[in-house]
């Protein structure tokens, strides 16, 4: 009986993680840079684009 409970808990955890991964890659984001940086700086622009490519979500730099 106890083994069935552990198996059920395992699959509930797997499904929960799978749902969290799906949600986390579909949320838009905003990159907030430091005071001395600017969104037009190539490093910040490349980083924002990299995050957009990896997440598949829309991103912005402020």
Residue spans of the domains in the chain: they are 2-61
19-54 tens-digit pLDDT: 776 655 567 788 887 777 788 888 778 888 888 888
**What's the confidence (pLDDT) of residue 38?**
83
Cβ density class 13-50: b for 16+ within 10 Å, e for less: eeeeeeeeeeeeeeeeeebeeeeeeeeeeeebeeebee
Locus of tokens 């969104």: 39
Non-local CB neighbours of 61 within 8 Å, separated by 6+ positions: 30, 31, 33, 39, 44, 45, 48
**What's the confidence (pLDDT) of residue 39?**
82
**What's the confidence (pLDDT) of residue 8?**
86
pTM, two decimal places? 0.51
């Amino acid at each position: 009986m106890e083994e069935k409970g552990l198996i059920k808990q395992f699959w509930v955890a797997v499904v929960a993680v799978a749902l969290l991964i799906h949600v986390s890659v579909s949320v838009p984001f905003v990159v907030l840079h430091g005071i001395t940086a600017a969104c037009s700086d190539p490093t910040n622009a490349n980083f924002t684009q990299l995050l957009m490519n990896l997440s598949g979500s829309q991103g912005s730099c402020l």
